[in-house]
Amino acid sequence: MTWYGVSAVIAFRFKDGPQDVWPVWENVYLVSADSPEEAEAKAVALARVTQGDDDGSLMCNGRAATREFRGVRKVMTVQNVRAPEDDPVDGAEITFSTVELGSEDLLQDLVDGKPVPVKYVE
Model pLDDT for residues 53-99, shown as the tens digit of each residue: 999 999 999 999 999 999 999 999 987 777 777 788 777 778 888 88
Helices and strands (DSSP H and E) totals, the chain: 2, 6
Would the pLDDT of 10 be above 80?
yes
pTM: 0.82
What Cα–Cα distance (Å) separates residue 71 from each residue in 20, 43, 77, 88?
20, 10, 18, 25
Domain extents in the chain: 2-92
What mean pLDDT value characterizes the chain?
A: 92
